Structure 1
Amino acid sequence: MSKSAKQAEPSPPEPADQMIIRDLETVKVLTDPLRLEILELMRQPITVKAVARSLKMPPTKLYYHIGQMEAHGLIRVVATRVVSGIIEKQYQVTARHYSIDRKLLGVDKNNHHSLTQILHNVLDGVSADIQKGLESGLIRVGDEHPVHQRLVLGRTLVRITPQQAQEFIEKINQLLKQFSEDPSEEAQPYSFLIAFHPHSQAKVMEGDDG
């Protein structure tokens, strides 16, 4: 008898285009830097062992994180097979994009600490990923390198109307959707971080204009 045998299962459902996170506990699970890396790897069906190989860590250190992600609906089992008498599972994200319900981002005495932690986790995860890319040579710094290898990093302030702000966000969402649909076999993952918000001095600046 073969050591490996696939169970007959229907084709797994495709991930939803978007999942809106509506509770802080799920947000905390989602924004953990390691879990963000796992989610990126699980955009396609993958086993825990394969994730561990990619992250260069033992699978035993991933089971808790994957259990939390599955319990909060961020990932799901999409296929199983029996290998040497042991059931091996393949996981995949439940959505291609995750958004946080804007109601959770309001700052009050109940969730101020949670919001601060969310911001730290997101920024720490991006920082760690950039550092890894620089150390491995995957990310290059300097205009002499091709655009697809460069780190693009910056911050700027713009003065626009509320209508222009709405148009800007709509165009960003359209671009993200356009480039995430039907990726070719040559496609590589790129990290995209956006923080678009009224500047903390917006009211002061508006008052100065008057």
Structure 2
Amino acid sequence: MWEVAVIEDAAAAGATLDPIRARLLAELVQPGSASSLAARVGQPRQKVNYHLRELERHGLLELIEERRRGNMTERVLQATASSYVISPAALAAVEPDPARSPDRLSARWLLAVGAGLVRDVGTLITGATKAGKQVATYALDGEVRFATAHDRAAFAEELTNAVSGLVAKYHDEKVAGGRAYRVIVAVHPSIPQTASDAIRAAKTAATETAASELPANDRKES
């Protein structure tokens, strides 16, 4: 079982959006059968079995074993991953395109870039799995708390210069056998953990947005 799997097929994505099927996927992190799941999800065994077959048809479940019980065979299944991410490729007709309006300060552009990241890494994982290989990737996740909007802007400028310098240092267009890698750096507000934090964060974000729209000479740090 994989820790995370990417769903690229539209029909498979649709199957996971059904509340009962999503619950069954969550339950089947551990192997189970239609009869063992029926009581847990509060559904008749026949209905559970139907949903299981649909999930299995889309490659979201795998058969672990078959057990003979009296005059019937019980099929034991398990989810192919403990969690799933739906790739934008599953909605290709409305997939976001960062190239339409590139803006480093736009949250929606960041979302489009992030969607592309999910799509591309999902495609790489699918190909690598079929080939029995691993994908060479690297990710860094951290948190920084800025005292002022000025500090945040200064951080963004220094980060841009540092990453641009590294790219310029190691990028080689001419070397034989080289391989291109995509570099994405994102900075966004952390999601608050409590309701009061959420309200405070929303007010802060609104104030910062309003301040950023003022002429430079009119801006004041709070």
Structure with greater proportional helix content: 2
| Structure 1 length-normalised TM | 0.46
Larger radius of gyration: 2
TM-score (norm: length of structure 2): 0.44
